[in-house]
Amino acid sequence: MGPLPFATYMQQCLSHPTHGYYMNPSNPVFGARGDFITSPEISQVFGELIAIWFLSQWVAAGQPSSIRLVELGPGRGTLMADILRVISKIPSAKAVQRKSVQLVETSPAMRRAQENTLQKFADEHGWELQWNNSIEDIPPETDDYTILVAHEFFDALPIHIVEKTQKGWQELLVASASGQNSSIATSPRLKAVLSPEPSPVSSLLGMSSQRFSKLPIGTRIEVSPSSFKISRRIGELIAGSSAGGSALVIDYGEDKVFNNSFRAFKDHKIVDIFHRPGECDLTSNVDFAYLKESFSDIAVPHGPMSQANFLKGMGIDMRVDALVKAASTEERQKVIRDAALRLADPVGMGKEYQVLGITSKPISEDGSPGVWPFVASPL
């Protein structure tokens, strides 16, 4: 077998039906025993403020009588549970005539974990739970107000790595390193090599954004056509709802293309990208500008802005103060404050994560897409 695109390598390592990182139940993906901890599992406040933002958009749309919640890559269901818990406490939202939850998840083990977390909302509050293998399985045409969240989803989608040369755009490939003078026991058996010539795929990737044409010779970039396709579908789901819709994408990244962000995690530590394929989390930063280019003709983007500024704008300080006052012990108070500080840390998670808002149409009367907190805070 010849050299593989990085996208194929990444997809096989993460999503192989039996040996993929997310598909193999023996891999402790989340939590202290896993390879990363997500914001919803650090503090309930994260999901609560996400829910408040969605409810504010639902109210601005006139409180449609049916709601469709969609989550891409729901993890253990923690974020969706926090969102549903908040909605269940708002009388007007709780009383909607039709309400469903659409979860996009391919891992059977993760589906079971999500069902364990979310079944109580189906039993006690009438939410219909449905799982989908792909966002393409969810129809865009609907009378429901569509709410979609993608938290740490796009960073795990396959990327191609291409380099601009005198010949054009050539692709970086994954090849065998068996011919090198190194011990297999101490060195990865794979290496990155540049394709000898441009290919139709690498040429198309290099032309997929006008921004890329301005880059100088020698520039190497990470491009995810899967991300472009899925974010386009998000725009279609939001725009296709007659009642309107809104979405939040929260992930590592910035409003620019990246050239060297692809990395691997094992036991909360960065390791070689070719270390123990199928047992490590592979991730890359999200090019938010690329996502916006995919749907800007059918939906309205807002931001991205830093997670710290988003949470501050949504009132994290007031919510944390209320939880601290209700806490029964000083130890519990400290846990609450420390978790909130971690989420909004201006040099940590609060800076590394960006939040992109998407709405189906301009909110303000003058036609400008003014949506809080994106209209008020800097990046």
The CA distance from 252 to 88, in Å, is 30
- Residue 107's domain comprises 4-159+224-315+354-359
Phi-psi region of 91 (alpha: psi -120 to 50; beta: other; left: phi over 0): alpha
Q: Is residue 77 part of a domain?
A: yes
Q: Is residue 120 part of a domain?
A: yes
Does the predicted model carry a pTM greater than 0.85? yes
Residue 287 reports pLDDT greater than 50? yes
Q: Is residue 193 part of a domain?
A: no
Q: How far is CA 169 from the centre of its chain?
A: 28
Interval 288-311: pLDDT, tens: 999 999 999 999 999 999 999 999
Provide the mean pLDDT of the chain: 91
Residue 177 reports pLDDT greater than 70? yes
Q: Report the pLDDT averaged over residues 10-38.
A: 74
Q: Is residue 122 part of a domain?
A: yes
The CA distance from 240 to 243, in Å, is 9
Query: In CATH, what number is assigned to the domain containing residue 307?
Result: 3.40.50.150
Burial environment of residue 92 by CB neighbours within 10 A (0 to 12, 13 to 18, 19 or more): exposed
pLDDT the model gives residue 20: 87
pLDDT the model gives residue 375: 85
Give how many domains the chain has, as a whole number: 1
Interval 324-338: pLDDT, tens: 999 989 999 999 999
pLDDT band with cut points at 50, 70 and 90 for residue 379: very low
Average the pLDDT over each of 82-86, 259-263, 323-327 and give the range with the smallest value. Answer: 323-327
Q: Is residue 145 part of a domain?
A: yes
Q: Is residue 22 part of a domain?
A: yes
pLDDT the model gives residue 312: 97
Q: Is residue 370 part of a domain?
A: no
Question: How far apart, in Å, are the Cα atoms of 254 and each of 54, 227, 266, 284, 371?
Answer: 22, 14, 24, 11, 20
Q: Is residue 236 part of a domain?
A: yes
Residue 204 reports pLDDT greater than 90? yes
Residue 212 reports pLDDT greater than 60? yes
